[in-house]
């Protein structure tokens, strides 16, 4: 077992979706961070993103996106509006942290376990974690208020 999640199309071709250990369940739905990362990464103003699942009392788990912006100064509201047009609502990250870099291996792969550790360490130390981001529908109306 490689730990990869794949699906097969009607012609018999297999497509890799994500690593099983990275998947999280939000409100009973499977969320594959690679899909969310691709959408965030396609947003103007974003260089790269990494998404992890974090515990949530209401939904079980929700996404926390760590985003490296370019020089355009994209805001969290703009990013989530962009994602909201391209992802199902349950896939939208609940937390967004803008950062200048992501922890990586010597080969350049993002070390998601270190993102989880950083979040846990900050929480245990009493540091203020990012506030949940605003959720909007496609018209820009705030949800979950």
**CA gap 58, 35 in Å, rounded:** 23
CATH number at residue 109: 3.30.300.30
2, HSE (Cβ side, Cα atoms, 13 Å): 7
Hey, is 34 helix, strand or coil? helix
Return the bridge partners of 66, or none: 50, 97
Residue 107 forms part of a structural domain: yes
Q: Does residue 2 lie within any of the structural domains?
A: no
Contact 31, 17 (CB under 8 A): no
Q: Is residue 65 part of a domain?
A: yes
27: in domain: yes
6 domain residue, yes or no:
no
Looking at the structure of the chain, the number of domains it has is: 1
Q: What is the pTM of this model?
A: 0.76
In a domain, 136, yes or no: no
Mention every residue, 6+ apart, whose C-beta is less than 8 A from residue 106: none
Does residue 132 lie within any of the structural domains? no
Q: How confident is the model at residue 7 (pLDDT cuts 50, 70, 90)?
A: low
Q: d(Cα 131, Cα 133) in Å, to the nearest integer?
A: 6
The per-residue pLDDT for range 42-60, each reduced to its tens digit, is 999 999 999 999 999 999 9
């Amino acid at each position: 077992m490689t730990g990869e999640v794949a699906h097969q199309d009607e012609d018999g071709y297999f497509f890799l979706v994500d690593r099983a250990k990275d998947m999280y369940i939000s409100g009973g739905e499977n969320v594959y961070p690679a899909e969310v990362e691709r959408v965030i990464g396609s947003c103007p103003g974003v260089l790269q993103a990494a998404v992890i699942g974090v515990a949530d009392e209401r939904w079980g788990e929700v996404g926390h996106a760590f985003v490296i912006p370019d020089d355009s100064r994209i805001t969290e509201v703009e990013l989530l509006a962009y994602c909201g047009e391209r992802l199902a609502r349950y896939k939208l990250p609940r937390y967004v942290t803008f950062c200048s870099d992501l922890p990586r291996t010597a080969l350049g792969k993002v070390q998601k376990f270190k993102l989880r550790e950083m979040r846990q360490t900050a929480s245990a130390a009493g540091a203020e974690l990012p506030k949940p981001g605003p959720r909007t529908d496609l018209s820009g109306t705030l949800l979950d208020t």
